[in-house]
Structure 1
């Protein structure tokens, strides 16, 4: 059994998404002590930003005419696609940045899509957990309602394009503990964090059983 885990936080030592994902991973590894965990941390080891353009142009270039950079990009695309396709379960820990999807995750997902084509269900039927964290509040009735442009994209790619059996664990108000002006939200933030950890534990058990 193989679990693929991807992290995208640029602050791994204080990452809420990593903390929540750890809870799910612990359940999976407890159930599969002989299993393997393939990790990719885009925050600490980002992919080259030009790789997608190089791989895309290489696809329209005759093999003898491809540049060394194009060939390297194609090799990377193939490796990323194989890494995901070989997974029996998937955990993706991706925070919201600047109201949108992490640039590191976007680079990775573009390259994975390039590996098999934009309509290929790479994770069809594969259980996947998406953990996402948001520094503020974006729910109904909040001043920033509708400003989360990350979660819908992540669900579209992982759930709709790749057709994973997707569970989402979402944690808001993660900046309340350290941000002036958010003191009144700290109790709510702590409750949300505890709920997210519990949800991740339950989701990890589901991944382990699948």
Structure 2
């Protein structure tokens, strides 16, 4: 039985683009993989403590860090909802990463226990930060997560990026609504497709 670790970090429980897309991903994954297991963490509803000196010193001997590390290592695949807040990831997601990444235990080695694990990140954002856009240089969600998840853990990272999510609510972005709708549709299509591919990969 394959296990999917599902992490959400959006502040809003409803109306969140990242939550909507991760939920669609999980729905398709379970339809394709009905005997699969989903382990869910809502970091907004149940935030983790920031890393402190005691936890750093204890490493994998710290009870919480070991619980999170074991959870990650037991997952055959990982799904992360990572909306952009102030150009980067939510602080709750950063706290999870700081707690779960333990150098010498699951990080810093090319053949660590998480190496090769497929990680799908739903990186939603209110505007557009794609290459060639005026705010390309302000994109610190994909850039950061790709580096930390591959560089520290050796995971295989893939992104789904719903953009312009604020367009329907901002009059000054009204002309971008069609692009926002297209991006949202594409994100849901990608979630379904990637979930199917992942289920097939894990069942093989």
Q: TM-score, normalised by structure 2?
A: 0.89
Larger radius of gyration: 1
Q: Which moved more, 1:162-171 or 1:182-191?
A: 162-171
Superposition misfits of 4+ residues, deviation over 6 angstroms: none
Determine the C-alpha separation between the residues in 2 that align with 1:206 and 1:54. 41
CA RMSD of aligned residues (A): 1.7
1:57 paired to 2:48: no
| Residues 79-123 of structure 1 deviation map (CA, whole Å, 9 limit, x = unaligned) | 000000000111111111101121111111011112725414442
2:68 is matched with which residue? 80
Determine the C-alpha separation between the residues in 2 that align with 1:53 and 1:17. 32
Q: Is the 8 A contact 2:77 2:117 kept in 1?
A: yes
SS at the partner of 1:177? Answer: helix
Q: Which of 178, 185, 191 is the matching residue for 1:200?
A: 191
Q: Which of 133, 151, 163 is the matching residue for 1:142?
A: 133
Determine the C-alpha separation between the residues in 2 that align with 1:132 and 1:111. 21
1:96 is matched with which residue? 84
- Give unpaired runs (5+ residues) of structure 2: none
| Residues 30-66 of structure 1 deviation map (CA, whole Å, 9 limit, x = unaligned) | 12212211001111111012x443311345xxxxxxx
How many aligned residue pairs are there?
Answer: 196
Q: Is the 8 A contact 1:137 1:172 kept in 2?
A: yes
Q: TM-score, normalised by structure 1?
A: 0.87
1:20 paired to 2:21: yes
2:182 is matched with which residue? 191
